[in-house]
Structure formats: structure tokens, C-alpha cells
Amino acid sequence: MKQLKLTGFIFFLFFLTESLMLPTELQDLDNFNVTQKFIEENVEYITIITFAQYVQEATFEEMEKLVKEMVEYKDSCMANSMLPKCSKLPNDVLQEAICAMEGLPQKHNFSHCCSKADAERRLCFLYNKKADVGFLSPFPTLDPEEKCQALENNKESFLNHFVYEVARRNPFVFAPTLLTVAAHFGDVAKSCCEEQNKVNCFQTRAVPVMQYLKAFSSYQNNVCGALLKFGTKIINSINIAILSQKFPKIEFKELISLTEDVSSNYDECCEGDVVHCIHHMSKIMNHICSKQDAFSSKIKECCEKKIPERDQCIINSNKDDRPKDLSLREAKFTESENVCQERDADPDTFFAEFNFEYSRRHPDLSISQLLRVVQMYKDLLRNCCNTENPPDCYHYAEDKFNEATEKSLKKIQQECKHSQNLGKDGLKYHYLIRLTKIAPQLSTEELVSLGKKMVTVFTTCCTLNEEFACVENLADLVLGELCGVNENRTINPAVDHCCKSNFAFRGPCFESLTAHKTYVPPPFSQDLFTFHADMCQSQNEELQKKTDRLLVNIVKLKYEVTNEELQSLLTNFVNAVEKCCKAEKDEEKLVCFNKESPKIVT
């Protein structure tokens, strides 16, 4: 991974053997050493990621000061590795260094975290992360020629700046993902700077890298949000469903062990413990690669790669083929006479196994639907096991599951048909209006972003064979973004209830929401609806953004207006732009906009 290898300090080296659980098997030792070498070679990136995610407001120059301080720390540990400070946890060392930077905690409002210690301080830094990065300036963009000049002048500084800017805007993205993105971007920059048409090269090759980042950011934010709001138990359920679909031939005992490891890894990665996140993830992937026959036939090429590409490749790999000898249903959960006794003996293991057996038999279902089926089964047994003849009661469980799934499937099919009838713009306006009405407290930029992502859900999924799973899985990521990562995020009582009451039923809960009844519209601001001649210079994409923001602001202001009236106001705006931009002089355009604007906001 040439683009990631950087010279610098190796401050983790001396205390990792103290702070991490040491490997016991020869194969584990080999993987530990490989991972350790990777960390040593990329420790500067790791420091940048940790600092930028914890203190998003910090400047690049402040980050460089921390790097310098950590070099001094490294030097002292190299001179005497027996010093007490050299045996501390990596994350604790870094947080202590951040807190010790003169004036930094006060300047960036995290001094309350620095007054705590150990686990309390780590949690405080976690809760201090801000998923909504509207307070940061727009992501800096350079002309391709400027990019290439910066790369040529100082490649290390160029890539460090990139990692810093990406990490502070994605505070919950796991370090291995950010390192992979950095490596790919480095490859793209190097290659494109050798091309004659640099602009086209960057547009073609850099976009997929950023889309990759956005996809993983959305998923990892959702996982971390679920962890903080619902705890490890729901994370285990999610992972059982995901891993069972991905590795349908895995043994249940192996699955439980893997699930516990993955859930524990999420705990570390969400917290921002970069070193443990990398080590633990690498250990998990090494275990999977050491037992490929037991896991999947789809990961052979992935396991030949180096970290972190290997790890990301396995995560992205396709679901394995369903075993030919796997029956359509597992009889022990609906036809056994002893279901209630087995449930009572060990409820957690019993329902985990049901989740496993049902999920690996239904790769076409969404994770939320699988979790809803598990909840339905729990509710059914709670009732059936109190009757005189439980087997007669739960014998028809599979039929009930199928009915519920069929109902959800038809709903998705109807939504796909509706989205195709509306068209891309109509669908976007539909969701901008709906999202603003149920969560008007969100910022205009947040609502525009969420609306755009809901459009992506349907334009991406509704032509696929597995449209049901695709729509629900992607829509759930959008809802996860709406709900936010931190458990103390509050929007309004109805939305908060959907976000925090039941992860599996979050989608249906949102579908049932209507306009927020107690919302008080903001005072009218003419500035929001004052249009200037430069509107006519806007490119199509920029004009579309302005149109989207206008619609959200109109909905917030005219909250009781019907969707049809809102659509009419939007049409008035489009017509006004088209009419006024035909004027030759800017003064004439401005007069026209002043005349037409009352038709939009009154």
C-alpha cells in the first residue's frame, strides 16, 4: 500500500504489547506482526484521523503541533520503554496529549472532557463528535493543476491535508475505511497528474472514491447510532442477520463467536480507538481468511490482498451461495414439541439461533425485515407458551412471517411504482416536502441532503431483482442519518420516538408520521426569498440546489399549505427564473424578480 506508507514516529510500538491482548497462536502472532507493521508505517495518518475526528474544529496547524508532541513522546519511549507512560492505552495517550495542548480545550470547547479520566473521558470525546458538520467551511476544492502542483511540491503534506479534511467531516467513519480512501485517492492523484486531460481524469476516477466513502460513512454512522441508542444487544442481532446472509454455510457456534468479535470491534471503532479498531478488525478478517471453506467461496481473492484492502474487500464481497442441502425452513422452531422449554432454558441463544436460521434462508430480505420477523416470533411465543397447547399455536408461525413479509414487499413495490410515476424531480420534491413536514426543526441543508438521498434509494433499487432488501436497507441508512448518531439528539417528540423506540420498526414508524402538529413556523425573512441577477448565472446543478432550498424554506414558513399548493408555488419560481433571465440587463432581471417573488411566497 505505497500511498499510505509514511515516514515518522512509532509511538505505539512500545506499549501495544502491554495494552492489547497478546496473540496466542502462531498464525495470530503472524497477523499481529503484519498489522503492527502496517500501523507503524501509517502512524502519522492514524494520529491525524484520531485528532481530526475528536476535535473537528481544530486547524491543520494545530494538528501538526500534536504530531510534533507525539514525536517527542516516541523519542522518550525509545530511550526508556519502561517509563509508566509508555504502557498506557494508545487512545488514552493521544487524548492526554490533546488535552495538554495549551489553550486548545478551551478554544474548541472540550475542556469538560479533559477533566475526566479513562473510560469516562473516552466516552466524553465520543459524545463530543458532531455528525452534522455544517459548522465547517465547504470541503476545499482545488483546480486539478493546483492539486498536481501541491502533490509534486510535497506529496506527504498533500495527502495529510486530504486525510485531515475527510476525517473531520466524517467523525464516525472507521479508520480502516479512511485509510483505504486515502490510498485510493493517492493512486488517483498520482495517475491523473500524469494525464494530459487532468480534469476529466479526476472527474472520472475521484468520484467513485468519494462515493465509496459516502456509502461506508452512512453505514458506519448508522451502526454507531444503533450502538449508542440501543446498546450491544441490537448490534448483535443486526450482525447475526448480516453475517448469516453473507455466510449461509457457517456453523451457528462459529457465527456467535464471529458476531461477538464484530460487535466488540464496532464498540472500539465507534469510540474512535483507532489502533484497537485496526488491530481487532484485522484479527477478525484473518480468522475468516484462515477458515475460508467454513465461511464463503466468495472471498478467496480478498484474502490475498494486504490490509486494509483485504478487510474492506471482504466487507464488500457478495453473499455466498446458499448451501444446496439447506432446507426451506428450520422445523425445530415451528414443529418441535419443546419450543417453549428450549426458549426458557436460554432465551438469548434460542432467538439468536432463530435469527441465524431464518436470515440465512432469506438472503432477499432486508435486515430490518429479518429483525421484525424475530420480534414477531418472540411476541408469538410469549402468547403461545401461555396456552394449553403451544404447538398448535406456533405451528402456523411461518405463515404469519410470510404474510408480514408479503405486506412489506407490496408496499415497497407500490413505492417504486409511485417513484417511477413521479420522475426524479417529482420524487425529490415529494420527499423534501414530507421530510420537512415531519422534521421541520432540521436545518434546510440537512433536509435537502436527506431528500436527495431518499431519491437515490429509489433510483438505485427499484430496477434491481432484490429491490425489497435494497430499498429498505438503503432507506434505513437515510433514517439513521436523520436520527443522528448521538443518543441525546432531539428533533421533536414524534420523530424522537421513532428514532429511539425500536430499531427494527423504525421504518414503519416513520411511514405513519404526519406533519408535526405543534410546530411554530419561523418569522418571515425576506432575505430567504430575495432573488438576484446572479440566479441566472447558476449552472443547472447549482440552480437545482437553490430550488430545493427554496422549497424547504417555503414549507417551513407556510406549514399548513397543501402539497398541491406547494407544487404550484415551486412552479411559479421556475417560471419566474425562466422569465426574468430572458432580460438582457442585470437591472431588468432584478426588477423582474422583485415583481415575481410575491407569487412565490404569498
| Residue 364 known to bind ligand | no
Within 8 A by CB and 6+ apart from 464, the residues are 470
**Contact partners, residue 428, CB within 8 Å, separation at least 6:** 451, 452, 454, 455, 548
CA atoms within 13 A on the CB side of 438: 22
Give long-range contacts, CB 8 A cutoff, 24+ apart: 460-464. Answer: 461/416, 462/416, 462/419, 462/420
Q: Which residue in 38, 31, 30 sits closest to 13, CA to CA?
A: 38
Q: Please give the DSSP secondary-structure letter assigned to residue 306.
A: P
Q: Is 44 annotated as a binding residue?
A: no
Helix (H, G, I), strand (E, B) or coil at 245: helix
Strand, helix or coil for residue 89: coil
Contact (CB, 8 A) for 373 and 401:
yes
Of 541, 196, 500, 363, the closest CA to residue 549 belongs to 541
How many Cβ atoms from other residues are within 10 Å of residue 219's Cβ?
19
- Return the number of other C-beta atoms located less than 10 Å from residue 484's C-beta: 21
Helices (H) and strands (E) in the chain — how many of each? 31, 0
Contact (CB, 8 A) for 519 and 492:
yes
Instruction: Using alpha carbons only, give the angle 152, 155, 158 rounded to the nearest 5 degrees.
Output: 105
Q: What is the DSSP secondary-structure string of 519-577?
A: --PPPP-GGGG---GGGGG--HHHHHHHHHHHHHHHHHHSTTS-HHHHHHHHHHHHHHH
Which of 240, 253, 252, 255 has the alpha carbon at shortest distance from 288?
255
Q: Which residues are annotated as a binding site for Ca(2+)?
A: 268
Q: Which residues are annotated as a binding site for Zn(2+)?
A: 273
Q: Which residues are annotated as a binding site?
A: 268, 273
